Chain A
Amino acid sequence: MAESPELGGGELAAVPPSTLRQYGVLIRTGLISALQYRADFVMTAVGAVFYEALSLAYVGVVLHAFGTIGGWTFSAVGFIYGIRTLGHAVHGTAFGQLWSVDRVVREGEFDRYLFRPVNPLVQLLTRSFQVTAVGDLVFGIIVLSIAAAASPVDWTPWKVLYLLAAVFGSAMVESAVMLAIASLSFRLLNVAPLLGVVDTAFVTFGPYPLSVMPRAVGYLLTFLLPLAFAGFFPAAILLHRTEDVFVPVWLAAISPVTGPILLAAAVALFHRQIRYYASPGH
């Protein structure tokens, strides 16, 4: 997707900048405009931290009262939570604007995206800077650092690399699911509640060792809503708790790769769904 269009004769000198560069320029513009309102920027970022802290507090209270969940200790569950939190933050940084896809489609802002020589999805994702992501990222990095240090893993460079890949994979799994839902907005016009439900599912189930769920729920969260790849599986691999993994171990081990695959599929889906866009007429 999103290759710069081939110009008929190579003699035309003006080569459009790469998609990545376009993305960079647009993000920077958004950041500059968001920074015009400093107080609001800070409040929103801090608000985001509180929002994340709620889920941490919830898990923390449960573990305080119960000690372990399905044999997983505080630090082990904290490790899943850490991967998921930073993954969620990375997802929000890149794909946070998906929450406004409804409005963009309903109010015809999408018209503009189709006229400009930049990929429409890139324009959607950069329409303004996701301020909440700043708070989420800071929070996520702190939480995962503490959780990784407290976990009983003997850290080698390879394991650190696997952890980083798992975090980005976790982000991409979430982005893929949210993007797939967002693509339905061209037909449904109202997908925010659906995004909300999936977000709640990610937040509610995210930090738990899914092995304690009824098996049907576990499979549902692996194959229908691929949440297991976004936290539980890679954590189980790093913690050597493969006996809790309810799928073939190799499938759990390749979790970091499932993210990019799913995301590529979701991007393709989005571009196919664009053709159902009907402008409200301006």
Chain B
Amino acid sequence: MSGARQLLSLVRVGWALEWAYRRAAVLWLIGLAIQVALFTVVWRAIYHDRAGTVAGTDVSTAVGYVVLGLAVSGLFNTYPGESIEQRVREGLIGVDLLRPLGLLTQCLAQQTGRVIGALPSLVFTLGTGLLLRGLAAPASTAAVAGFAVSLALAFLVSQLITLLMSLSSFWTLEVGGLNMIFGVLRMFMSGALVPLWFMPGWLQAVANALPFQAATYTPLAIYFGRAPGGLAVALGVQLLWVGLLALFCALVWGRARSRVVVQGG
């Protein structure tokens, strides 16, 4: 089997896993749609007695932002349920290590499959936004092009973040608490729920120092014509994070490799 076909088969596995429990998956999608509706109502309520703009943002931008934020995070932040954590716990990691593809490649391929499997979620998130008239037009045609490029980079950043997180299970088998902290940090610091420009300066500084914003906030800000530091800088920072995170993953994996404990292996 050629390399490309091996990769594709893993992508397909990720995709199938996303839909292994149909009913649960459908309920998750409905949950996402309800979340979009809730945040739309809340943002409109917050703007309730304000006609103008706050931090240069009017109500339709604020609502449009959160709809798009939930759409992007719902698509990219697929939970690595069947990945390293569980496989280390069940000892299946031994089998993974015997496969002809490197572990990191396997994981990334599967995660990609999961994201593709989650594509229908866009119908639910953006569809709900459309129904509630919460979608906002992009700032300009150039903004759309920048958004598309930035979104591709955001995909890479978010998948590398997920991978880095799951690699931690080589050190601790009990990752419940850690996962919780991580999920929360990611949701907030990525700016999926509230744009960074609403944050006080010190919090913006913290968010800017972390990779999460490159996974959601950057493409959204570009879409609304507010690329942080200008388009070139914004994309450059994303590229930098792709490189740094890839390097981290390789380093962590290098250290983890020597301490794999195959349960029951």
Task: List chain A positions with a Cβ less than 8 A from chain B.
Answer: 37, 39-40, 42-48, 50-51, 53-54, 57-58, 61-62, 64-66, 69-71, 190, 192-194, 196-197, 200-201, 204-205, 208, 212-214, 217
Given contacts A64-B199, A65-B54, A193-B28, contact A43 B174 (CB under 8 A): yes
Measured between beta carbons, the chain A residues less than 8 angstroms from B178 are 43, 47
Contact A71 B49, beta carbon cutoff 8 Å: yes
* Chain A nearest CB, measured from B257 CB (Å): 24
Measured between beta carbons, the chain B residues less than 8 angstroms from A212 are 45-46, 48-49
Measured between beta carbons, the chain B residues less than 8 angstroms from A62 are 46, 194, 198
The residue of chain A having its C-beta at the shortest distance from the C-beta of B185 within the complex is: A50
Contact A46 B181, beta carbon cutoff 8 Å: yes
Main secondary structure of the interface of A (DSSP, over half): helix
Contact A196 B31, beta carbon cutoff 8 Å: yes
Is B38 close to A, CB under 8 A?
yes
Is B23 close to A, CB under 8 A?
yes
Residues of B70-120 whose CB lies within 8 A of A: none
Contact A194 B38, beta carbon cutoff 8 Å: no
Is B239 close to A, CB under 8 A?
no
* Chain A nearest CB, measured from B23 CB (Å): 6
Given contacts A57-B188, A212-B48, contact A204 B38 (CB under 8 A): yes
Pick the contact of B176 from A47, A192, A193 — CB < 8 Å?
A: A47
Task: List chain B positions with a Cβ less than 8 A from chain A.
Answer: 23-24, 27-28, 30-31, 34-35, 38-39, 41-42, 44-46, 48-50, 54-55, 174, 176-181, 184-185, 187-188, 193-194, 198-200, 203
Q: List 5 A-B contacts (CB under 8 A).
A: A46-B177, A70-B48, A204-B35, A208-B45, A213-B45
Contact A40 B174, beta carbon cutoff 8 Å: yes
Cα-based distance from A161 to B34 in the complex (angstroms): 36
* Chain B nearest CB, measured from A185 CB (Å): 13
Given contacts A50-B184, A214-B41, contact A40 B199 (CB under 8 A): no
Contact B188 A44, beta carbon cutoff 8 Å: no
Cα-based distance from A278 to B233 in the complex (angstroms): 60
Please list the 10 inter-chain residue pairs (A to B) with the smallest Cβ-Cβ separation, ordered nearest first: A43-B177, A193-B27, A47-B177, A47-B180, A44-B177, A65-B198, A212-B48, A212-B45, A54-B184, A50-B181
* Chain A nearest CB, measured from B207 CB (Å): 10
Contact A190 B177, beta carbon cutoff 8 Å: no
The residue of chain B having its C-beta at the shortest distance from the C-beta of A63 within the complex is: B46
* Chain B nearest CB, measured from A251 CB (Å): 22
Cα-based distance from A181 to B109 in the complex (angstroms): 38
Pick the contact of A190 from B23, B41, B42, B188 — CB < 8 Å?
A: B23
The residue of chain A having its C-beta at the shortest distance from the C-beta of B29 within the complex is: A193
Contact A197 B199, beta carbon cutoff 8 Å: no
Pick the contact of B54 from A37, A66, A197, A201 — CB < 8 Å?
A: A66
Cα-based distance from A45 to B178 in the complex (angstroms): 10
Cα-based distance from A62 to B180 in the complex (angstroms): 23
The residue of chain B having its C-beta at the shortest distance from the C-beta of A42 within the complex is: B177
Contact B35 A200, beta carbon cutoff 8 Å: yes
Contact A40 B27, beta carbon cutoff 8 Å: no
Pick the contact of B194 from A58, A197, A214 — CB < 8 Å?
A: A58
The residue of chain A having its C-beta at the shortest distance from the C-beta of B28 within the complex is: A193
Contact A61 B48, beta carbon cutoff 8 Å: no
The residue of chain A having its C-beta at the shortest distance from the C-beta of B57 within the complex is: A65
Contact B30 A193, beta carbon cutoff 8 Å: yes
* Chain A nearest CB, measured from B28 CB (Å): 6
Contact A64 B200, beta carbon cutoff 8 Å: yes
Measured between beta carbons, the chain A residues less than 8 angstroms from B23 are 190
Contact B38 A200, beta carbon cutoff 8 Å: yes
The residue of chain B having its C-beta at the shortest distance from the C-beta of A70 within the complex is: B48
The residue of chain A having its C-beta at the shortest distance from the C-beta of B21 within the complex is: A190
Contact B188 A201, beta carbon cutoff 8 Å: no
Measured between beta carbons, the chain B residues less than 8 angstroms from A43 are 174, 176-178
Contact B198 A61, beta carbon cutoff 8 Å: yes
* Chain B nearest CB, measured from A242 CB (Å): 19
* Chain A nearest CB, measured from B121 CB (Å): 14
Given contacts A58-B193, A58-B194, A197-B34, contact A204 B42 (CB under 8 A): yes
* Chain B nearest CB, measured from A27 CB (Å): 20
Q: Chain A CB within 10 Å — which of B54, B179, B180, B200 has the most?
A: B180
